[in-house]
Structure 1
Amino acid sequence: MYKIADVLPNGYNIVVNSLKDDLNGAKAICWKAKVLKDDDEGFSYEISKCLYFDTCKEHGYPEFCKEFCTHDWYAYGVLKKHSKFVRKSTIAEDGTVCNDTILKLK
């Protein structure tokens, strides 16, 4: 979906609005998220509690959560024309938060 959205003139807005819906809509029960930045340069957020990590950890396989984190690269790594995915940290990879940004390319 995002690969197609990226080539559309309003691709950045499609991607960011989808993320906002994930962070604040019905899926919001899966994590505790905070928007750090939402301006002309990009959209940044952090997740401090993640259902995927908590579930993997509870069942004794916290390292498996990295597979969920890797999926984000498949979903957002295709963004190249109007936006770019930048990941600073994940809870699963020894971070205290997941910190991601969708940069708006000009």
Structure 2
Amino acid sequence: MLDVWLPLIVGLVLLIAGGDVLVRGAVKVAEHLGVSPLVIGLTLVGFGTSTPELVTSVQAALAGSPGIAFGNIIGSNIANILLIVGISAMVFPLAVSSSGLRR
């Protein structure tokens, strides 16, 4: 039991520590170069969310499974678009007149 949980916990701690070091370092470099905090945040979030998909797609392509890489790309884009549209609709719902609903 310990041979499963110990590497899992150590890996999670290392992942969190590495992510923290990466973000702090990127922010310091960007601030030194005069980049705005908004651009720093958007860039880090963009790379952070795309990296697992990139790794999965590259591993699938190298293993000779282009279908997995293709499905990963398509599924990720569909999920991202629908999540953004859904959250936007929840935050700022569109006002539609009743005559528009009857059509």
Indicate whether the TM-score tops 0.5: no
Q: Which has the larger radius of gyration?
A: 2
Q: Which has the higher strand share?
A: 1
Kindly indicate whether structure 1 or structure 2 has the higher relative contact order, using CA contacts under 8 Å at least 6 residues apart. 1
Q: Which has the higher helix share?
A: 2
- In the superposition, the TM-score normalised over structure 2's length comes to 0.31
